[in-house]
Structure 1
Amino acid sequence: MTLSWGEIAGFVTGALCVWLVARQNVWNWPIGILNNVFFLVLFVSTGLYADGVLQVVYIALAAYGWWAWLRGGSAHSQLSVSRTSVFQWWVLLGLGVAGTASLTWVLVRFTDSTVPVADAVTTVLSLLATWGQTRKKLESWWLWIAADVIYIPLYAYKGLWLTGVLYFGFLCLCVVGLFGWRTSLRVAVA
């Protein structure tokens, strides 16, 4: 098992970022941007092209999330944890199916990806989950959990063992985040 500096840096910044998200700490966004840069280089160099492009999108979403957490609430106040509406779930489902089908086609047609479906599914789930986190939607944690369950064996298959371990840690932090955000929502509603 050979580890690169990029994988190690991605591990450290990724773990810190998700820990900060679970604690609803706004510093998760700038740490996440740094993490995205490290993973962009790592994923492109290992043929996970959709995951590589995803890092660029994450940088843009992180900038938005940083603003939204500080000023995206009512009257430009801090954002509170909320639930995903039924309408939003239908939109997410439609975007998820269309995005996965489209991205799989692109990866099959235009790249040498050895895992186009898994790369597409995890990329789309991650985008949907990130949108949910920029808006502090409780259910975004469930989307992350689904993505991580696929990411862990995918990274092991690609020989990215440390990244697979990191995503197992992410999975555990997602459960912590889910319960923490659920508690915040209950307190806000009470």
Structure 2
Amino acid sequence: MSLIEVLGAVLSALAVWLTSRRSMICWPVSLTAAGLYCWIFLKARLYADAGLQIAFCLYVVYGWRHWQKIQSPDGRIQVRRPKTVAILKGLLSGATGSAVWAFILARFTNDPTPITDATLTAYSMLAQYWDTMRYRETWALWIVVDSAYVALFISRGLYPTAMLYAGFVILAAYGYRLWKPEASIRVIANTDM
């Protein structure tokens, strides 16, 4: 356990909690946490997850800008209902991304769990995309993905990160409860961010 891992875990938990509350400050906190975890995962030889953190950084920049554009004049962020076809396309793209990543990881890296690493990475990217689109389903997918990550991180000896992801499961359930499409809550943080 390193100080960087503990700091990354704390910032990541804070970022998810802020996202569940639809607070604009979630974006810079998420960006910092993703940068720290990129380093942590590179050191643990979880290359797809390190790459995922880079993708998260790009999603954070996109999500931050997107949420600013769609924010109501009264500071509210609306949850959207995706069409069934959008959900199915997303799940199919996750499966395709998983297969491609698994092939690359198995062929070109020393990743000890290429299929698991690739699958969790692909579906994490999908969940992050759904978050930027403000789909409530993001939280259901995070519950599944984060539960599997707990086992992966325990197997790699990343115990603070495993505890973090167990907490993410709880936070995802909280986010799912709060993100009702017909409900809208006022953004908590300063909307100028």
Q: What TM-score does the superposition give when structure 1 sets the normalisation length?
A: 0.92
- Does residue 186 in structure 1 map to residue 163 in structure 2? no
In structure 1, what is the Cα distance between the partners aligned to 2:119 and 2:76? 32
**Identity across the alignment (%):** 33
Offset at residue 108 of structure 1 (A): 0.1
Shift of 1:49: 0.3
Structure 1 pair 78/68, CA: closer, same or farther in 2 (3 Å)?
A: farther
Which of 54, 65, 68 pairs up with 2:66?
68
| Deviating 4+ runs (over 6 angstroms) | none
Q: Where does structure 2 lack aligned partners over 5 or more consecutive residues?
A: 185-193
Counterpart of 1:146?
Answer: 144
Map Cα deviations across residues 79-124 of structure 1 (whole Å, 9 max, x no partner): 4101121121121122111101000000000000101111011101
Q: CA deviation at 1:73?
A: 5.8
- The equivalent residue for 2:5 is 7
Counterpart among 31, 34, 37 of residue 33 in structure 1: 31
In 1: Cα distance, 2:174 partner to 2:119 partner: 24
Looking at structure 1, the residues matched to 91 and 22 of structure 2 have their Cα atoms a distance apart, in angstroms, of 26
Contact preservation (8 Å) 1:151, 1:167? yes
Distance 1:154 1:186 in 2: 36
Larger helix proportion, structure 1 or 2? 1
**Cα distance in structure 1, aligned partners of 2:132 and 2:95:** 21
* Unmatched tracts of structure 1, length 5 or more: none
Q: Give the corresponding residue for 2:95.
A: 97
Distance between the aligned counterparts of 1:72 and 1:49, measured in 2?
A: 34
The number of equivalent residue pairs is 183
Q: TM-score, normalised by structure 2?
A: 0.90
Report the residue type matching 1:50 in the other structure: A
- 1:130 partner letter: Q
Structure 1 CA distance for aligned equivalents of residues 72 and 167 of structure 2: 34
Aligned-residue RMSD, C-alpha: 1.6
Q: Distance in 1 between matches of 2:179 and 2:170?
A: 14
Aligned partner of 1:161 in structure 2 is 159
1:91 & 1:165 partners in 2: Cα distance? 32
Partner of 1:127: 125
